[in-house]
Amino acid sequence: MRFKGGPTQDEVMAVSLQKLGIKKGDVVADIGCGTGKVAMAMGEVASKVYAVDVRKEAVEASRVNVSTWGRTNVEIRQQDGLEFLQDCEPLDAAFVGGTRRLHDMLLLLKDRVRGRIVVNTVLLKSMNQAVDTMVKLDIFKEATQVQICRSHHLAGSIMFKPIDPVFIIVGEVG
């Protein structure tokens, strides 16, 4: 199932997960989970993963994917990310794949996460907002731009076709 905003490219996901630094036993969240791909990868290490998305089609796709891959430690919720964060248990890390109301999201994450927060975005405006907000909250660690190109056959040879660059913004609480 394809819809706006997903899925996260494998190479970008690998960098994002490394930046999150998830450890065995962690409780984490994937906010704006889309297809559930990042949540499932987080579930390979974390003991509990909350996969949260407000979009019905995203939640349906996540449920199918999580069920297909047999992940039992991923709890999928069709819920606004801000509502989820107001009542969720403390988190060890959080991945934010959606940037709607990002400023408010980061304010809540600062109080809910005792570890790393990673925001992925393709928009300069969202990247600037994430960095500015994290700096003001004194949690900004770094921002990275990832540009991936994949090989494609062309005219009997191989060319590289670029994929949209992604900004990975990292914050750390505690």
Local structure of 72: helix, strand or coil: coil
| 43 in a structural domain | yes
Residue 35 sits at φ, ψ, to 5 deg, of -80, -10
Across-strand partners of 76?
51
| 103 in a structural domain | yes
| 46 in a structural domain | yes
* Residue 131, CA distances (Å) to 7, 106, 136 in order: 23, 10, 9
**What is the rounded distance in angstroms from the CA atom of residue 80 to the CA atom of residue 16?**
22
| 3 in a structural domain | no
The closest alpha carbon to 164, from 9, 38, 4, belongs to 9
- CATH number for position 143: 3.40.50.150
At 49 the pLDDT is 98
Say if CB 48 and CB 75 are below 8 A apart: yes
At 85 the pLDDT is 96
> Would the CA dihedral through 129, 109, 87, 54 be positive or negative?
positive
At 80 the pLDDT is 95
| 133 in a structural domain | yes
The closest alpha carbon to 80, from 133, 141, 31, belongs to 31
The closest alpha carbon to 23, from 44, 53, 51, 2, belongs to 44
At 119 the pLDDT is 98
Domain that holds residue 132: 10-172
**What is the rounded distance in angstroms from the CA atom of residue 108 to the CA atom of residue 120?**
17
Residue 161 sits at φ, ψ, to 5 deg, of -110, 125
Proportion of the chain in helix, strand, coil states, percent, rounded to 5? 35, 35, 30
Q: Which residue has the tokens 């796709």?
A: 61
Task: Name the token pair of 122.
Answer: 């393709």
At 8 the pLDDT is 86
At 1 the pLDDT is 53
| 1 in a structural domain | no
Q: What angle do CA 81, 3, 125 make, to 5 degrees?
A: 60
Number of domains in the chain: 1
Distance of CA 62 to the CA centre of its chain: 14
Local confidence pLDDT in tens for the 174 residues of the chain? 555 656 789 999 999 999 999 999 999 999 999 999 999 999 999 999 999 999 999 999 999 988 888 889 999 999 999 999 999 999 999 999 977 899 999 999 999 999 999 999 999 999 999 999 999 999 999 999 999 999 999 999 999 999 889 999 999 998
